[in-house]
Amino acid sequence: MKALILSGGKGTRLRPLTYTGAKQLVPVANKPILWYGIEGIVAAGITDIGIIISPETGEEVKVKTGDGSRFGAKITYILQSEPAGLAHAVKVARPFLGDSPFIMYLGDNLIQSQLDPFLETFNKQKLDALILLRPVPNPSAFGVAKVDENGRVLQLVEKPKVPPSNLALVGIYFFAPSIHEAIDKIQPSARGELEITDAIQNLIDREKHVEACNLDGWWLDTGKKDDLLSANQIILDSCIVASTELKVDAKSQIIGRVQIGESSEIINSTVRGPVVIGENCRIENSFIGPYSSIADRVTMIDADIEHSVILQGAKITGIHQRIVDSVIGQRAQIINAPPRPKALRFMIGDDSQIELV
């Protein structure tokens, strides 16, 4: 069994952050989104992993993620020259996949459930495809499935105007090698892409064995700012435990579940968890509120934040209004704001500078 993780695409919904980096590397609780998927796949016993990368962000993905040894896996990087659809990504990866069954995992998805039960169902029933479904209030925004009472998939439609059900396809699929023949038989959709839903529908039309499982627990597609912040909140709630030794000065106060990295300084500040603070940060005369993630080498002086994600090397100084519901890019700077009564919200890309006067 192999795995194929998709980490290409342009990430238009997370711009301006994704003008300069891969959306799958944006951190949630100070860990790249992509890494959660890799860890889940390895936990299910799959260690031969291919990662689809794009020309724009592929080198960054390779440098940050490495050869897979940190995860106990072997990673092969596969270049998809253009974002021509999920089925096209499988086609590009065929030399890596060979005749092996595989799991396909969209790299910007996060799920609470472990993959083992789905893998067991796929193998035990010798399926051609197993898809994961989740009821959603807005099915028109997703690929949608119609299934019978036994879980057998009858129909798949990509972003339908009139959905046949409220069951959205989660971005995790299990495939037998027969999916390659199905992909060879389909044509590009109206948007010019080879759709994986069309390939699975081809399997269904040829009476191959395609079934579905409902996904319990949370599922997060982190393609937009609010989704990213929700994911950060859920992961902090689920995973962060209080550090046993926190080095802060006598004027600082740590409340709740807080983790602070090596060589970070907390000076005359309050940190109310759940919060994670990376390494080599300087937090001075500041308040860090719940559900905040602060990456390595961040400087915050005379600033208040809450429910926000601050990326590596950012600098926030002299902001006397509370910053909430924000994503601040790498090395971005927000400086020198006089007192004002309202909160501030930001979505700031890497290397930006904002001066409030």
b vs e for 72-86, b when ≥16 Cβ sit within 10 Å of the residue's Cβ?
Answer: ebebebbebeebbbb
Does residue 6 surpass a pLDDT of 80? yes
Does residue 186 surpass a pLDDT of 90? yes
Per residue in 66-116, pLDDT tens? Answer: 999 999 999 999 999 988 899 999 999 999 999 999 999 998 888 888 999
Q: Which of 174, 198, 224 is the last residue of a domain?
A: 224
Residue 232 lies in a domain: no
Do 195 and 263 lie in a common domain? no
Number of separate domains in the chain: 2
CB 36, CB 110: distance < 8 Å:
yes
Secondary structure of residue 88 in the 3-state scheme: helix
Domain residues for 345? 240-355
The Cα 343–Cα 207 span in angstroms is 57
Residue 61 lies in a domain: yes
Do 104 and 204 lie in a common domain? yes
Q: Which of 175, 197, 224 is the last residue of a domain?
A: 224
Residue 235 lies in a domain: no
Do 252 and 287 lie in a common domain? yes
Residue 246 lies in a domain: yes
Residue pointed to by tokens 């949370």: 218
What DSSP state is assigned to residue 216? P
Give me the CATH number covering residue 67.
Answer: 3.90.550.10
Q: Which of 178, 194, 224 is the last residue of a domain?
A: 224
Do 256 and 310 lie in a common domain? yes
| pLDDT computed for residue 350 by the predictor | 65
Per residue in 23-60, pLDDT tens? Answer: 788 888 999 999 999 999 999 999 999 999 988 888 98
Do 190 and 250 lie in a common domain? no
Do 245 and 213 lie in a common domain? no
- pTM for the structure as a whole: 0.86
Report how far Cα 25 is from the mean position of its chain's Cα atoms: 8
Do 196 and 302 lie in a common domain? no
Residue 233 lies in a domain: no
Give me the CATH number covering residue 254.
Answer: 2.160.10.10
Mean pLDDT value across residues 141-146: 87
The Cα 168–Cα 144 span in angstroms is 5
| pLDDT computed for residue 16 by the predictor | 52
Do 54 and 110 lie in a common domain? yes
Do 157 and 260 lie in a common domain? no
Residue 252 lies in a domain: yes
What DSSP state is assigned to residue 286? -
Residue 231 lies in a domain: no
pLDDT band at 182 (very low <50, low <70, confident <90, very high): very high
Per residue in 234-270, pLDDT tens? Answer: 999 888 877 767 778 889 999 999 999 999 999 999 9
Closest to 196 in 3D by CA, of 341, 88, 329, 335: 88
Do 177 and 260 lie in a common domain? no
Do 246 and 200 lie in a common domain? no
Residue 229 lies in a domain: no
Per residue in 197-214, pLDDT tens? Answer: 999 999 999 999 999 998
To the nearest whole number, what is the mean pLDDT of the chain? 88
Mean pLDDT value across residues 134-150: 86
Do 74 and 190 lie in a common domain? yes
